[in-house]
Chains A and B, each alone.
Chain A
Amino acid sequence: MSLRLQTEHLQRKWLFTTDHRAIGIAYLLLSLVAVAVGTVLSIFMRIHLIAPDLKLPFWGVVPPEGYLALVTMHGTLMVFFVLTTAPVNGFASLILPAQIGARRMALPLLNALSLWLTLISFGVLLAAFFVRGGAPISGWTNYPPLSAIAAAGPGQAAGMDLWLVSIGIFCLASVLSAINLLTTIISKRCEGMTLMRMPLTVWAWLVTAVLILFAFSILLAAVVLLLSDRHLATSFFVPPGEVIDGLLVAPQANGSPMLWLHLFWFFGHPEVYIAVLPAMGLTSSLLANFTRRPVFGYRFMVATTLAIGFFGLLVWGHHMFVSGMNPYAGTAFALTTMAIAVPSSASVLGWLLMLLRGRDSRVHPLPTAMLFTLGFLSFFIAGGLTGPILAQPVLDAYLHNTYFVVAHFHLIMAMAGMFSLFAAVYYWFPLMTGRLMNERLGKWHFWLSLIGAYATFFPMHFAGLAGQPRHYAQLTGSTSTLGSLLPLQTGITHSALFLATAQLLFLVNLVWSARHGRVAGVNPWQATTMEWALIDSDCKVVRGPYEYRFHTNLPDFILQCADEAEQE
């Protein structure tokens, strides 16, 4: 097996390939397109917020429903097509089989089918911009009755239907992909690869796949029920006495919007762990690689991964403290949410302790992948620390749906997640193309992004404390009392533009390095995990996954049992 990915495979068979590496690359390309579109949408949002009368491409002067459509589609694209697709489907397809010593996935057809469904879902979602009424305006969470009744707003007719169909297809795709991942991890590990020898990335994908299986099935059910409400005259979510624009809609209705909130957030909270757990696994792996030390407490890290996955299913009510839920239930969810802070903090402490053991003088300067891992750590801490505030119902009663929450999830999910994805790309680029990415461009990319991201999202905490709610299309206007926050928001917009522009460095680096980057050796990072091994015959695993510097006389090893003579 040559190190260089057989992209000819991809080109020859187009997307009908079942080769997991080609499928992984296809997923990553999809995520790249999605993140570009999502970023452009967010830039439009930010510009409109501070300059509501400015004309923008496609919209002209953005009407209020245009702004809300931008918000909705930005959130949907980023959460689903970037933060679920890339870390789970993209990188798992690419890397997972090799890391457990398998030659291919357990159910390759399922993997290919999942890719196809994701692509179709993406197309359907984007089509929402171009139908009559435009894209939906109810936010990525789409609370009914706003999302259940077409007359409740522009974009809630055809646009909302397209959103629902798209996400329904995405749910199917995700579940199929999760089935494939779980079957592969359980049944295709090579000889000697016990569960306790799997790299932490594989553990993360395992727990993530279980979460996907549970969460996306529930979302699919919710989507089906909402479509039924919209088109089959049922009333799962439409309450009695529902009046829109003075008209009593659905006189027979007898539903509850709270049902949607429970179903959606039962999916919605595990979704954010789906987005972040693979990043956490990767961080452990990369920190071990670049500090040249084993992971601090491997079994402990596995335990925190499992704990976060398990608790992640029990905390959904913390999105609903002021939604109309029973205050006693609020207390229960507050306790479980605060409890999940413990394994998360344990992970962070583990990582910090890995770093504190000192820097290897041979690894200098730090490679870009390591820089982005440190960036992940920084954002995870920054965003994670505001979690405990939001976990307290009495404080969340003030901060819910303000910019404080926006700051929280952008720091911990968007920026930490994105930085981890960047680290993964810089790290595994040699596996995709046989070349290394340019280090200088990479470092510029890192520092500019770090500064830009903090400058963009940190001040949002203050806007939130000042009481600025989310989804506001403008801060000025006859009824608005938020005009004093305009300077703050202007600063944020400028930082966002800076951040978005800095990503061009990444794109340039990607394209240039694919052709002209320095040719990488077999194992350029001197890693111990098996995706870097040349597996020509059946491998047999005899060591743990992170045994760097384990023996005094030999540098480091790969999991695979190479003959003694082959060891470097």
Chain B
Amino acid sequence: MPATFTRTPAEIDRKDTGIGGKPPVDRRPTGGGGGDDNWDNHPQGRRGPRELLTRYRLGLFFALAGDLMFFIALVSAFFVRQNAGHFDPRDNYVSDWHPLAVPPILWINTAILLLSSATIEAARQHLFHEVDVMEEWLGLGRPAVRRASPWLVGTVILGVMFLAGQWIAWQQLASQGMFFGTNENSHFFYLITATHGIHLVLGILALAVALCALFLLRRVEMRQIVVDCTAWYWHTMGFFWIFLFVLLTCFQ
């Protein structure tokens, strides 16, 4: 590669036609070889250690966007049903909505879930701690993994506690006679909590896989990606739960 940069004729003749984009800005001060700090200018595949992470985060983001639409469908069905009454024979509008008293244990469950978000965030931070990552990358043991794994285990425990609490809430409702099929409102309560619960089960499985991956995967980059994606998934599920919880407590 010559040290000087000669503009090719194509670049000189170029007229702006209104189609296509501008030519790439030559950001190389030296004109050849050498590196610069802007990874994005590099060819795809050589855009630095964050490239793979960004890609997986992107994939997860889109997956969660689709998931959000799924929950939005359920929530809009909830609102439609809430406002759909009927007319009795005397032409009076009768609402068919029977607000469900949310079992108090749900507040505790919410607190547990928020706590678990904190624990997994701690795990994630440990895994990105620069000094520890450097040591791992150099092959000097696994300090980041050692620091992060207890937090991951803690998250799993809290997650299981949350699910157990949800189950207890269901039992409490059942003992009061509110089953899944009892009335239209109970459908929604069970459906919403069950859907979220299934997502959380998947999250716990992902946490378990992440724990194993921490010890089995060879590349530090892949370990980071697994935990990072699991953490973001977990945060999102907590976030969704806040909304659903507010819906179930305040919007009945």
Contact = CB atoms under 8 A, between A and B. Distances in A.
Contact of A106 (B13, B21, B55, B181): B55
Nearest to A110: B59
Those 7 A-B pairs whose CB atoms lie nearest each other, nearest first: A544-B20, A221-B73, A217-B69, A196-B21, A298-B19, A233-B181, A538-B43
Given A179-B62, A538-B43, A214 B69 contact: yes
Nearest to B85: A254
B70 A217 contact: yes
Contact of A255 (B9, B72, B81): B81
Given A232-B180, A564-B10, 20 more contacts: A101-B44, A175-B63, A178-B62, A183-B58, A186-B58, A194-B22, A216-B66, A217-B66, A217-B67, A221-B73, A225-B74, A233-B180, A235-B187, A240-B86, A263-B73, A298-B18, A542-B10, A542-B24, A544-B17, A564-B9
Nearest to B97: A254
A551 interface: yes
A4 interface: no
Interface string B107-146: 0000000000000000000000000000000000000000
B183 interface: yes
Interface string A211-247: 0011011101110010010001111100010000000
Contacts of B36: none
Given A233-B181, A298-B19, A228 B191 contact: yes
Contacts of B22: 194
B180 A179 contact: no
A429 to B, nearest CB: 28
A256 interface: yes
A225 B10 CA distance: 59
A191 B183 CA distance: 58
Interface string A427-458: 00000000000000000000000000000000
Contact of B24 (A103, A176, A192): A192
Interface in B170-196: 180-184, 187, 191
Contact of B96 (A107, A213, A254): A254
A480 interface: no
Interface string A93-125: 000000001110011001000000000000000
Interface in A171-212: 175-176, 178-180, 182-183, 186-192, 194-197
A477 to B, nearest CB: 37
Interface string B1-30: 000000011100100011111111000000
A465 interface: no
Contacts of A225: 74, 77, 191
Contact of B59 (A180, A218, A252, A551): A180
A178 B66 contact: yes
B80 interface: yes
A274 interface: no
Given A186-B58, A216-B66, A191 B20 contact: no
Contacts of B63: 175-176, 179
Contact of A547 (B8, B20, B42): B20
Interface string A264-277: 00100000000000
A516 interface: no
A294 interface: yes
Given A183-B59, A254-B96, A299-B18, A236 B81 contact: yes
A540 interface: yes
Interface residues of A, number: 64
B44 A191 contact: yes
Contact of A545 (B18, B20, B67): B20
Interface of A: 101-103, 106-107, 110, 175-176, 178-180, 182-183, 186-192, 194-197, 213-214, 216-218, 220-222, 225, 228, 232-236, 240, 252, 254-256, 259, 262-263, 266, 294-295, 297-299, 538, 540, 542-547, 550-551, 564
B17 A294 contact: yes
A240 B85 CA distance: 11
B55 A213 contact: no
A175 B66 contact: yes
25 contacts: A107-B55, A179-B59, A179-B66, A183-B55, A187-B51, A188-B55, A190-B43, A191-B41, A192-B24, A194-B21, A195-B21, A213-B66, A214-B69, A218-B69, A218-B73, A222-B73, A240-B86, A255-B81, A259-B77, A262-B80, A542-B23, A544-B21, A546-B20, A547-B19, A551-B10
Contacts of B58: 106, 182-183, 186-187
Contacts of A545: 20
Contacts of A195: 21
A240 B54 CA distance: 51
A498 to B, nearest CB: 42
Given A191-B44, A234-B181, A564-B8, A298 B66 contact: no
